[in-house]
Structure 1
Amino acid sequence: MRFRMDDYYGPVVDAVPAGQEVLAAWICTDIGRKFRVLLDALAMVDDVREGGAPFELWDSEGWDVEFTPDGVTVQAVYGNRQRAAYSVDEVRIALEDFWEFMAETPERANARRAFRPDLAEWQAGLLQWEQTWQLRHPYRGRLGIPADGPA
């Protein structure tokens, strides 16, 4: 998927691949610009890719998402309740593409952050994710996420 920011600094997908419309909608609307939520999704897809259960169940007001080793099912809670099932690898690739896009996207001008404003937004999100879950994120050492640090 190819992502870009719209005029309101929200992520959108240009030319959604056939069959991935629901996946793109979930990523752009439920995950959006929230690095901690994106880190949740990456950790869950990694857990099921390894054959286990996700470290936590997906919790969202607008989307029901189920991660299993057999695939990921995504369903909108409101509206037309669009639903689709994807392979774990399809979701992993889309989430990794989204991570790379978000990590490279400059922060909004004049955006204020209380937690570790000295770090890039994605780095602060990573540290906050690890503090919240008391886990080392499984993507450490991948996708430009350092194996150690920042402190």
Structure 2
Amino acid sequence: MDDYFGPVVDAPPPGREVLAAWICTDIGRKFRVLLDALAMTDDVRAGGEPFEQWDSEGWDVTFRPDGVTIRAAHGNRQGATYSVEDVRTALEDFWQFMVETPERANAPRNYRPDLPEWQEGLLQWEDTWQIRHPYRGRLGIPTQGPA
């Protein structure tokens, strides 16, 4: 974890360079964005369409039941397609890493600063989308609460 840039990958696994770059640069320390990616992956893993289309200035990402295509929107436009399971595993591992990472002491927070960043992000995600996050009860995300 870099104090200025956030998460960085020194040596991504071979063939996972684009996936690692997307997670570190587009998702980064933003729990709500990570929750978006987890929910979209869960939707297509179940054979459906994602609840929303991925919205990013830097990356074009398409979630489909047959795979997740990730392409840089600028520069060399590097891209790759990964299985939904590979993306799910990477996102879940990243969630665990981010939850275990110490919080930023001076990060501006105004939604629910009384909660850990990940819980604040979860409640804000659910408030924004007006749906229960599909990962409730998984990855240490409580089935109910916080209120």
Structure 1 residue aligned with 2:44: 48
5+ residue gaps, structure 2, are none
Distance 2:19 2:139 in 1: 20
| RMSD of aligned Cα (Å) | 0.9
Match status 1:88 vs 2:45: no
Match status 1:132 vs 2:128: yes
Distance 1:50 1:122 in 2: 25
5+ residue gaps, structure 1, are none
Tell me, what secondary structure is at the counterpart of 2:8? strand
Give the counterpart letter for 2:48 in structure 1.
G
Which aligned segments of 4 or more residues in structure 1 are displaced greater than 3 angstroms?
Answer: none
Instruction: Give the TM-score normalised by structure 1.
Output: 0.95
Report deviation, 1:13. Answer: 1.7
Report deviation, 1:110. Answer: 2.4
Match status 1:74 vs 2:70: yes
Give the counterpart letter for 2:64 in structure 1.
T
Match status 1:6 vs 2:2: yes
Instruction: Give the TM-score normalised by structure 2.
Output: 0.97
Report deviation, 1:112. Answer: 2.8
Identity, % of aligned pairs? 80
Tell me, what secondary structure is at the counterpart of 1:12? coil
Q: Which is richer in strand?
A: 1
Structure 2 residue aligned with 1:144: 140
Distance 1:46 1:103 in 2: 19
Q: Deviations over 1:54-106 (max 9, x none)?
A: 00000000000000000000000001000100000000000000000001111
Distance 1:139 1:8 in 2: 29
Among residues 119, 126, 134, which one is paired with 1:123 in the alignment?
119
Structure 2 residue aligned with 1:38: 34
Match status 1:57 vs 2:53: yes
Give the counterpart letter for 1:120 in structure 2.
P
Aligned residue pair count: 147
Distance 2:122 2:59 in 1: 23
Distance 1:109 1:7 in 2: 11
